[in-house]
Structure 1
Amino acid sequence: MSRPPEAEPPRLSVAIIAMNEAHRIERCLRSAAFADEIVLVDSGSSDDTAAIARAHGARVIETADWPGFGPQKNRALAACRGRWVLSLDADEEVTAALRAAILAAIEPSPAQERVNGYWVRRSSSWCGRTIRFGDWRNDRVLRLFRREAARFSDDLVHERVECAPPLATLDGVLLHDSVDSRADALEKMHRYARLGADKLRARGRGGLAAAWLHGAWTFVRGYLLRLGFLDGRAGLAIAVLNARGTWLRYRLAGRAARYPSGFPGEPR
């Protein structure tokens, strides 16, 4: 008895990691509905993130631990079956122009066979306002790649895609609703600072002097040199928040190196 032919693998998978993103994950999922499959790795959400994802046809993988952004995204990547993978964050949305560019890029052709990954231009917003200057301007991220040609770095935060060349750039824009409230911005800043401090400490960097130096430079670079002031109050808020996050990252790294068993007076 002959075996039935194996089904063709999906052409495009979308990989998402999320935790407690019920308030905004639906927009991301709707924009990704053109893909052959959506894989969402949920890191123990206490809200309806997983249920919303399943309602949109996503295959949800729930995990109890949090290994960091890079390792968690590699989990999502390993679960994908598509020849191509589009990596999205829960606060991102694929525009119609970008969707068309993605579908054209993965269409089999001699030109497509020569490319392993694609950069995407990303437009970020602060509390609903599009940011055009400062540290968030001209943002470009590597998000579409052949599954077998790429992986994420093992960084706990600020992970990057490690993809074999050649690479190209897609038309269209990825919308990034980075911050929807000041409370959200502060929570993100503290979370990323703690994770970034671990990276700095592992490299033997940190301390109070470095915190002030790098924090001041972050503000000057984003607000003055990169014209963040042209974004008005939003530009100032971003520059201050980035500077504060940099200061805190170096300060925490230095303190952890000086007191490896815990800061005096803190519960252990």
Structure 2
Amino acid sequence: MHKLSAVLITLNEINCIDPCIDSISFADEIIVVDSYSTDGTWEYLNTHDKVKASQRVFKNYTDQKSNALSLTSHNWVLFVDADEIITEESKNEILSVLKNPKADAYYIFRKFIMNNKPLKYCGFQTDKQLRLFDKRKAHFAPDRLVHEHLVTIGSSRILTHKLDHHFYKSYNDYSRRILFYGQLKGLELYRKNKKPNLFLRIIKPSFKFFYMFFVRFGILDGSRGFTIAKINAKGVLERYKHLKKLIKEHKN
């Protein structure tokens, strides 16, 4: 059995951190890098003997997760977000893989849960993330500031069972996060010397809504699907607003 390091980053996650930590307690160690939480998350983490917690200023997701990865003791790593729960079925499948890995990295599908009910569409139905891997054959792509991309140089497979992703706490919380992601994407574009234009600011957000709500069947999730598509469209608009702001500040 290969030993396993479970890893996550946190910022004010007191409302969801307990079930997350409990669900990954089967790992040989739990590494948490906290971005100076003020809601009790840091104090909570320090009550667990198995959790190795440290604090670090947040720059972007790739930077923070790369740092967390560097703190692991074991070659096999399981990355989770604080609002995710490894189900019993997923845990058993991960433990089976660790006995005799057939690949160097494994994708895990996620079940998106909104207001205690699965959100079945909006494009989330095919969402999978590279979460279980041999760190000797993987690294985070440095050019991604949000929706970090794990690059592997070995083989990969897909696990059968899904983890639970409690992604939606409230309208305001989800909006805040999506707008923040949009700002980071705007910074990515700025660093690539991209220029905003009226076409992008109008068409891109509109297409995002159309794609999630109609093409990816968010309409079948009813009002919840409409809410998610609308907020994500606003996130795309924020991307180009922030890009325009950064260009203007640089000129001044």
Equivalent of residue 238 in structure 1, options 208, 216, 228: 228
* 1:131-146 matches, cutoff 5 A: 131-146=119-134
* Structure 2 match to 1:158: 147
Equivalent of residue 239 in structure 2, options 249, 252, 255: 249
* Structure 2 match to 1:26: 18
Unaligned runs of 5+ residues in structure 1 are 1-8, 263-268
* Structure 2 match to 1:51: 43
Count of residues paired in the alignment: 249
Q: TM-score, normalised by structure 1?
A: 0.88
Shift of residue 128, structure 1, vs aligned partner? 2.4
Shift of residue 138, structure 1, vs aligned partner? 1.2
Equivalent of residue 225 in structure 1, options 215, 222, 230: 215
Percent identity, aligned pairs only? 28
Shift of residue 164, structure 1, vs aligned partner? 1.7
Read off the aligned partner of 1:251 and give its amino acid letter. K
Which SS does the other structure have where 1:77 is aligned? helix
The reply on whether 1:120 has 2:120 as its aligned counterpart is no
Read off the aligned partner of 2:51 and give its amino acid letter. A
Read off the aligned partner of 2:166 and give its amino acid letter. D
Read off the aligned partner of 1:59 and give its amino acid letter. K
**Using the alignment, how far apart are the partners of 1:52 and 1:10 within structure 2?**
28
* Structure 1 match to 2:83: 91
Pair 68,159 (structure 1): closer, same or farther in 2 beyond 3 Å:
same
Pair 258,116 (structure 1): closer, same or farther in 2 beyond 3 Å:
same
After superposition, the C-alpha distances for 1:214-236 in whole angstroms (9 at most, x for unaligned) are 00110111101111000011100
Q: TM-score, normalised by structure 2?
A: 0.94
Contact 1:10 1:36 in 2 (8 A): no
Pair 205,136 (structure 1): closer, same or farther in 2 beyond 3 Å:
farther
Which SS does the other structure have where 2:145 is aligned? coil
The reply on whether 1:72 has 2:64 as its aligned counterpart is yes
After superposition, the C-alpha distances for 1:204-262 in whole angstroms (9 at most, x for unaligned) are 14233211110011011110111100001110001101111101111221232244256
**Using the alignment, how far apart are the partners of 1:261 and 1:12 within structure 2?**
49
User: What is the RMSD of the two structures over their aligned residues, measured on CA atoms?
Assistant: 1.6
The reply on whether 1:190 has 2:182 as its aligned counterpart is no
Read off the aligned partner of 1:127 and give its amino acid letter. N
* Structure 1 match to 2:7: 15
Unaligned runs of 5+ residues in structure 2 are none
Pair 94,205 (structure 1): closer, same or farther in 2 beyond 3 Å:
farther
* 1:178-217 matches, cutoff 5 A: 178-203=167-192, 204-217=194-207
* Structure 2 match to 1:265: none
Contact 2:109 2:161 in 1 (8 A): yes
**Using the alignment, how far apart are the partners of 2:248 and 2:231 within structure 1?**
26
After superposition, the C-alpha distances for 1:169-216 in whole angstroms (9 at most, x for unaligned) are 112111111111111112112211111110122221423321111001
Equivalent of residue 175 in structure 1, options 164, 173, 193: 164
Contact 1:206 1:252 in 2 (8 A): no
Contact 1:10 1:81 in 2 (8 A): no
Contact 1:207 1:251 in 2 (8 A): no
Shift of residue 82, structure 1, vs aligned partner? 1.4
> Is the radius of gyration larger for structure 1 or structure 2?
1
**Using the alignment, how far apart are the partners of 1:101 and 1:82 within structure 2?**
19
